[in-house]
Amino acid sequence: MELTIKDRPAKFGLAGFMLGIASLVVILIQLSAFFEPQEKSSGTVIGEIAAEIKQSAARALAREPAPKPTPPPQDYSQFITIAALCVAGIAVVLGGIGLYRNEPHRLSFMAVGIGVSALVMHYVFWLAILICGVALLISIIGNLDSIFD
């Protein structure tokens, strides 16, 4: 008679791995949406502002009440990003539970690694954007003297 140890199926590790991959994909899509071109050019926006000023002046001269402003459309990108970061955290927790339960380690390690990488990637991206913005402001302030010469 042989003694065999039955491996537990990697339930938590697999669930954490799937959630980690999903959060990583969503965060990549959200970060790529950051670089999409703007919907309207600045000339179009300036023209719309001028038309609104003209209409407002015409209403004021005619003593008509101002129309109620239209609410801006809902932007769910921040909610999606927060949800993806929460899912990445859940992936890390599920990977840790899988390791605690002695499930096969490969999926659990991958769940923890991918979940942490999704969190770190989002943080590092915004840190890089912040550093680039500060560098741009420093260069603009440093070149102000050449504008007035």
In this predicted model, what pLDDT tens digit does every residue of 113-126 receive, in sequence order? 999 999 999 999 99
Q: Band of the pLDDT at 22, cuts 50, 70, 90? A: very high
Average pLDDT, integer, range 11-38: 88
Residues 95, 16: Cα–Cα separation, whole Å: 5
Mean pLDDT, range 32-47, rounded to an integer: 74
Nearby residues of 87 by Cβ (< 8 Å), 6 or more positions away: 19, 20, 22, 23, 26
- pTM, to two decimals: 0.70
What would the two tokens of residue 132 be? 């680039």
Place of tokens 């260069």: 139
d(CA 95, CA 110): 8
Q: What is the DSSP letter of 85?
A: H
Please answer whether residues 114 and 21 qualify as being in contact, where contact means their C-beta atoms are separated by less than 8 angstroms.
yes
Residues written for the chain: 149
d(CA 83, CA 1): 51
> Which of the residue ranges 35-49, 64-78, 85-99 has the most confident prediction, judged by mean pLDDT?
85-99
Mean pLDDT over the full length of the chain: 85
Strand ranges for 10-144 from DSSP E: none
pLDDT bucket at 55, cuts 50 / 70 / 90: confident
Cβ pair 118, 84 in contact under 8 A: yes
What pLDDT does 148 receive?
67
